[in-house]
Amino acid sequence: MIKKIDEALEVIKSKIGGVPDVAVVLGSGLGGLAEYIEDKVIIPYEEIPHWPLSTAPGHAGRLVAGKFGGKSVVAMQGRLHVYEGYSMDQVVFPVRVFARWGIGHFIASNASGGIGYGLMPGDMVLIHDHINMMGKNPLIGPNIPELGERFPDMTYAYNRDLLDLAEDVARSHNLTTRRGVYVAFTGPSYETPAEIRMARVLGADVVGMSTVPEVLIAHHGGMKVLAVSCVANYAAGMTSNPLSEQEVLDEMAKAADDLTTLVAGVIEQI
C-alpha cells in the first residue's frame, strides 16, 4: 500500500509545489466551492496512479489546488463511495495520500438527510461524532505503522478546537450551525423509514453514505478533522414525499454560498 500511496503522491507533487495547509473533500452538489480557489492547479483523477474515479452525480472527479481563505489548499472535487463498487481501501486512498503528504488539517463536507426534528433542508450541521452503520472499517487488516497506530482512539476524532472555531466563524457571518451526530449507511438505496427511526433512537441527527471512512483514516493519519454536513432533505419517513437525487443536488446548490463562507473563514484562521 505504501508503494501505491507514494506513486500517487509523486505525480501530485510534480504538479503542486509544497505541502498544502488543508485538504478539503467536497460532497454531493458542493463542488462549486472549488471555483473560489485562486491560482488553480487542476489534476483529473485519471492522471493520478491508483486513484479511483468518481462516478456519483455532482462529483467532478478532480483535484483542485491553490489559495483559498488565505491558505494553501487541495480540494477533492468529488469523493469516492462504497456504493460505487469500491473497496474501503479504494474509498480512503486519497485521504491516505493527504496524510502521507503531511497535510495537517482535513475538512470534509457532505449532503445529508435530516433526522433530528429541528433540522430543515439548508441547515449546516457541524459533526461532532458519528455512528458507523456501514458494517466495514477501512482500518481492518494489517496495520502499517508509518500510516498510524493500530488502535486509534476516536473520542476526539472531530477536533474540538476546529468545532469551536467553525461556530465562531458562523456567528461572525450570521450563519446558523448546530452540532450533531452523523450516521453512515452504505447506500446506494436511501434508508428506510424504519432505519431512520432506529438511527434517531441511537442518537443520530443526520444521515448519509460517506465521510465516516475518510474521517477514520484522516484521524488515524494524525490530521485534525472538521466535518460539515449540509441537510439536503428530510430523512425517509419524516414526510410523505419520496427521496430523490435531484432534490439533494438542488438543495446543495442553494447551500453552497453559506458553506463556502464558513469553510473559507475556518481555513483563514487555521
Helix, strand, or coil (residue 68): strand
Binding-site entries for phosphate: 28, 59, 79-81, 111, 210
- Is residue 144 within 8 A of residue 248, CB to CB? The reply is no
Phi and psi angles of residue 51, each rounded to the nearest 5 degrees, phi first: -90, 120
Residue range 62-72, pLDDT digits in tens:
999 999 988 99
Residue range 236-266, pLDDT digits in tens:
888 888 877 776 677 677 777 898 899 999 9
Residue range 183-193, pLDDT digits in tens:
999 999 999 99
Local confidence band at 59 (pLDDT 50, 70, 90 cut-offs): low
Any idea which architecture 2-269 has in CATH?
Answer: 3-Layer(aba) Sandwich (3.40)
Whole-Å CA distances, 121 to 167, 168, 255: 19, 22, 9
Q: Half-sphere exposure of residue 244, counting CA atoms within 13 Å on the CB side? A: 7
All three cell numbers of 64? 483542485
Q: Mean pLDDT of all residues in the chain?
A: 93
- Is residue 207 within 8 A of residue 234, CB to CB? The reply is no
CA distance 160 to 182: 16
Angle between helices 88-101 and 2-15 (to 10 degrees): 60
Binding-site entries for a purine D-ribonucleoside: 191, 233
CA distance 16 to 5: 16
- Is residue 212 within 8 A of residue 135, CB to CB? The reply is no
Quote the pTM value. Answer: 0.94
DSSP-assigned letters across all residues of 45-64: GGGSTTPPPP-STT---EEE
Binding-site entries: 28, 59, 79-81, 111, 191, 210, 233
Query: Is the pLDDT score of 29 beyond 80?
Result: no
Residue 36 vs residue 219, higher pLDDT:
219
